[in-house]
Amino acid sequence: MYGFGRKIGEQRKQAGLPRGPISAKFTDDNMSANLLSTQFRKIKKSGQKIAALTAYDYPTARLVDEAGIDLILVGDSLGMVVLGYPDTTSVTLDDMIRHTGAVARGAKAAPVIADLPIGTYSTPGEALASARAVVAAGATGVKLEGGTEMAPQIRALVEADIPVLAHLGMLPQKIREEGGYKIKGRSPEEIRSLHRDAAAVQDAGAFAAVLEIVTPGLAKDISQSLEIPTIGIGSGDGCDGQILVLHDLVGLYPWFRPKFVTARTELAAPLSAAVREYIADTKGTDPESR
């Protein structure tokens, strides 16, 4: 845990959100895209790894934040693990605003990064309007999917002092075009284009880049070629940090779990058991009979 401050600023005050404890170094007024970027580069240089998780609501954000996580992502994985859609492509900006507000109320120390959902950042102007909406709800910054083609959007956001987390490799918002979750970086062409994309998002001002299911060797090479940290998911341990969907980590979405996830606990089973017990107690029946 690096004690990041959170850029709350005017938008956060306007949203009626409480000020959280912030480090001596970063205050509401001085936290900027540049400072966040400088801080993340420093962490990378120091060799410390970044531990990031998703959260989608107040209690999980508060628990994850109080446990000392370095970054909280309000991921559009919200679509699957909270809203019950088959993928992220039905998530709307209103969904993200609603859940970002809840997470921001729970997280006092870690930066809260909100995903820009599909179709809300096709141009730099659209990206700016969408990002301002989630920042007004309490986000520190935003994540968006794509490489070289997203450089103008990233530049516009960073110029407006909105920190950007890039997302390369497997892009969940493209799942329908791609027909599934496919590992990236197997062909020479993919290797070249991922290197190009990584350099482009760094040059455009992203403070870090998520690498999703990229071959471990390539993820390591990209990590070594960049000054900004990479945060891997299913991309091996050569990245500068790791991110997971909270529900996968704690076994709260038992119907599907990616192969690369090691769950640290299985919360679905005790939750079901507590509900069965409650039903049986209320009805005066045997919980095992249900």
With CB under 6 A as the contact rule, the residue among 233, 239, 249, 250 that binds ligand KIV is 233
To ligand KIV, the closest distance from the beta carbon of 101 in angstroms equals 17
Contact call for residue 75 and ligand KIV (CB under 6 A): yes
Q: Which is nearer to ligand KIV, 194 or 233 (CB)?
A: 233
Candidates 126, 159, 177, 212; catalytic one = 212
Does position 116 bind ligand KIV by CB under 6 A?
A: no
Which one, 204 or 249, has the nearer CB to ligand KIV?
Answer: 249
Interacting residues with ligand KIV between 53 and 72 (CB under 6 A): 54
For 214, phi and psi rounded to 5 degrees? Answer: -105, 145
Determine if 245 is a binding residue for ligand KIV (CB under 6 A): yes
Strands (E), the chain: 50-54, 71-74, 112-115, 141-145, 164-169, 208-212, 230-233, 241-244
Residue 234 binds ligand KIV (CB under 6 A) = no
Q: Which of residues 191-220 bind ligand KIV (CB under 6 A)?
A: 210, 212
Long-range contacts of 13-22 (CB under 8 A, 24+ apart): 14/136, 15/101, 15/104, 15/136, 15/137, 15/138, 17/101, 17/104, 17/105, 17/138, 18/105, 18/108, 20/107, 20/108, 20/109, 21/108, 21/109, 22/109
Determine the Cα–Cα distance for residues 178 and 171; give it in Å rounded to an integer: 9
**With contacts defined by CB under 6 A, how many residues of the chain interact with ligand KIV?**
12
> Which residues of this chain interact with ligand KIV, rule CB under 6 A?
54, 73, 75-77, 115, 167, 210, 212, 233, 243, 245
